[in-house]
Chains A and B, each alone.
Chain A
Amino acid sequence: MTSKQPEQSVKSYHSKLFVPQASSRPDTTPDFSHIAIPPPTDSHKPEVLTGALDMQDLAYGIVRVLGDDHLCAGPWVPEISADTLRLGLKHMLHVRAFDDRMFKMQRQGKLSFYMKSTGEEAISVAQGMALRTTDMMFPSYRQQGLLFVREHSIVDLMCQCLSNAKDNIKGRQMPIFYSSKQHNFFSLSGNLATQYSQAVGWGMAAAYKGEDRIAVSWVGDGTTAAADVYHALVFGSTYKAPVILNVVNNQWAISTPQSFASTGTTFAARGIGLNVPGIRVDGNDFLAVYAVTQWAAERARQGGGPTFIEHFTYRTEGHSTSDNPDAYRGKNEAKYWPLGDPINRLKQHLIALGEWSEAQHLALTEELSQSITAHWQEALAFGSLDNGPHWPVSSMFEDVFEEIPPHLLAQSQKIGD
């Protein structure tokens, strides 16, 4: 060993393990003042086939349409009727009423599990409405709004959560792991990110067959760390797959802040290095989400390939019914969130347009609450997890393969004993 080398290298070593911090913890006051919220007029709207590298500013800004005055401004104002906006508001209220009811039912022991999407309703509802019903959706577990837009039976959603005899997936998955081929809503899986590259493959197949359909997928901020997200971006970009890849940045992955995956930059910026346009959008702005989704869908249909959209939003509630957010973030952090509540913002916009009123809002909220209650009673009539009726036990052995092979038949007969 020589005496020269080590001394120098000790001096030049300055690396320290960096661990990101949370926006707040239970013993601190939430503060989002460091987040710059640009006015709607700040962003630009490129032609749909613009190269990713010519629109990098969109990855670092925030596309917004609704200003603080609740009116539309800027280049992204979509052409959308008041009727459509009212429908969007209704869907969002419907999702929230559904979530609230199901959460309560879990607390009363009627459901084993539930996950709300409170504060994120604009993303799934506006995107669902901006897509065509023939487009294929590969969601994560917090895009239930898509099913409301596609007018999935509410009773059937409840039956899935109850795992009863009317559950279309035969009691095989936990609540909220919906699947609906009829509504082009892909089967949910517990394994995060897996659906992202599957959506790309689906889009590749559509392009291969010359179909005018696109695939859309969603992950959360935490899930962007998974390899499948990188795979989706690489394969999507390589083959110019007609897909929209969404990141719902709701700031939290269970107890882990988004800073553990965002690496000090925006998620949208991640697309640029792979030649995929990244657009960050105000996820609580129904009109902005709608406009950006329309743009990305058009780009995909015209052969421009994928768009990577980061929806900047906030997870108002706990991660799931099995989670207590007060254990890892400041109490009521959502109240400090600078982009507000998506339902309230669209409501105020419609009121500002003279197309809505507090009285109408109250009446609709009440109507939806009552219909949810009625649907719940109807769903319960088809059975519950604890008391049944369920699918026959032997159905457990079906659909493992297209036909039941001998070894499964033998096991099925054993359980029947």
Chain B
Amino acid sequence: MANMNMIQALNSAMDICMDIDPNVLVMGEDVGYFGGVFRCTDGLYKKYGAHRALDMPIAEGGIMGVAIGMGVNGLRPIVEIQFSDYIYPAIDQIVSELARLRHRSGGEFFAPIVIRTPCGGGIRGGQTHSQSPEAFFTHACGLKTVMPSNPYDAKGLLISAIESNDPIIFFEPKRIYNGPFDGSHDQVAKAWSSHPLGEVPVEHYRVEIGSAAVVQEGTDVTVVTYGNMVHVAQGAINASGISAELIDIRTLIPLDIDTIKASVAKTGRCIVVHEATLTSGFGAEILAQVQEQCFWHLKAPIERVTGWDTPYPHAFEWQYFPSQKRITDAMLRTLESN
């Protein structure tokens, strides 16, 4: 075991997979010689060379198109899109091509690609360095969507993703690259060394894609969330003293609905929390499935605590970013409801 932040954990996952399989390579803008703007691919160029830590022209659509061709020809590209806010030029290649290739070719062709992309706010990133666009991708059949919330999961999930033959979009909440963030922006930032899940095995291991984690057990309300918001929700639960069961879904598609179902069957109440905007966000899907599958267990309407339906603001970041208070208020409303 070693103490790692998320950056080091992700780096370790890529390093291990590149070491095992010469067909694994990392590619994207600034990922090679420089080691990535967030340092996630640091050292890979030196260790594996310019061909395997491959710097690319600034064209997300081109990077994705080329990666698909590489994947079809037997490579296993790990593509980095520098910010998830800049993934849109690649959407045609991702949604129309990558996601559908296996299906449309009757299983003849596929491209085993992982798309890593930093997402989420809380860093004064304004409109184009803060977005959480996961719902654009959960709506595309043929893609798996993953978002880890801690170094242990980040490494284990990324190894699973690299070794999977399905295309996977891997969102990395950049606010928690260096430490868990519970939404207390006015306090000193914490490091992952202060968190148990900052202890990461140095060797190869997997965290299964499609399995949620019960972060802490509770009896009165189920809080379903992922990414950054796991820590904000945990802060709200602990500060409020509410007996809430906290579920980090970890994988959005395929969703581990069984874990959520078991929890809501026990608590009878559910709130869904995410940083992305509300309307047609992934929370709507979780809410719908809980309503469909747990209707007779529910004692209160399911609530969603999310970003507002506005572009991500610069000046009003902390009015936008879902706070512990908003989560606590939602839990209390749910508990009061009969």
Contacts and interface: CB of A to CB of B under 8 A. Distances in A.
A228 B63 CA distance: 10
A399 B103 contact: yes
A71 interface: no
B240 to A, nearest CB: 33
Interface of A: 136, 138, 167-170, 172-173, 177, 179-181, 186-187, 189-191, 194, 196-206, 208-209, 215, 227-228, 230-232, 234-235, 238, 398-402, 405-407
Given A187-B108, A200-B69, A205 B62 contact: no
Nearest 7 pairs between A and B by C-beta? Answer: A201-B69, A197-B65, A231-B62, A201-B66, A187-B105, A205-B73, A169-B106
B51 interface: yes
Contacts of B230: none
Contact of A407 (B72, B75, B164, B254): B254
Contacts of B110: 402
Contacts of A208: 25, 51, 70, 75
Given A231-B59, A399-B106, A199 B92 contact: no
Interface stretch (B38-46, B93-101, B179-187): B93-101
Contacts of A181: 105, 108-109
Contacts, number: 146
A406 B251 CA distance: 13
A189 B92 contact: no
Nearest to A231: B62
A199 B70 CA distance: 8
Given A202-B73, A208-B51, A399-B102, A231 B65 contact: yes
B108 A228 contact: no
Given A197-B62, A205-B69, A402-B166, 11 more contacts: A191-B96, A201-B73, A203-B69, A205-B72, A208-B75, A215-B69, A228-B62, A228-B92, A231-B61, A235-B57, A235-B62
Contacts of B93: 194, 197, 228
A197 B108 contact: no
A179 B61 contact: no
A204 B66 contact: yes
Given A187-B108, A227-B89, A400 B103 contact: yes
Given A179-B109, A201-B69, A205-B75, A401 B102 contact: yes
A227 to B, nearest CB: 6
Contact of B73 (A187, A191, A206): A206
B67 interface: yes
Interface of B: 25, 51, 56-57, 59, 61-62, 65-75, 89, 92-93, 96-97, 100-110, 141-142, 144, 164-166, 210, 254-255, 257-258
A282 B252 CA distance: 52
A76 to B, nearest CB: 30
A401 B109 contact: no
Given A198-B66, A202-B72, A399 B107 contact: yes
B61 A228 contact: yes
A205 B66 CA distance: 9
Given A197-B69, A198-B65, A401-B142, A234 B92 contact: no
B254 A191 contact: no
A168 B107 CA distance: 9
Contacts of B254: 405-407
10 contacts: A167-B106, A187-B109, A191-B97, A197-B65, A201-B66, A202-B73, A230-B62, A399-B102, A401-B166, A407-B255
Contact of A177 (B51, B104, B164): B104
Contact of B65 (A190, A194, A402): A194
Contacts of B257: 406-407
Nearest to B97: A194
Contacts of A235: 56-57, 59, 62, 65-66
The winner among A136, A179, A231, A398 for most chain B CB atoms within 10 A is A231
Contacts of B66: 197-198, 200-201, 204, 231, 235
A238 B66 CA distance: 12
Contact of B105 (A179, A215, A232): A179
Given A189-B96, A204-B70, A234-B57, A398 B65 contact: no
B165 A402 contact: yes
A400 B101 contact: no
B102 A402 contact: yes
Contacts of A405: 210, 254
B68 A201 contact: yes
B106 A172 contact: yes
A186 B89 CA distance: 23
A180 B105 CA distance: 8
B210 to A, nearest CB: 7
A145 B108 CA distance: 21
The winner among A189, A190, A203, A401 for most chain B CB atoms within 10 A is A401
A170 B104 CA distance: 9
B210 A398 contact: no
Nearest to A241: B66
A191 B104 contact: no
Nearest to B56: A235
Contacts of A227: 59, 61-62, 89
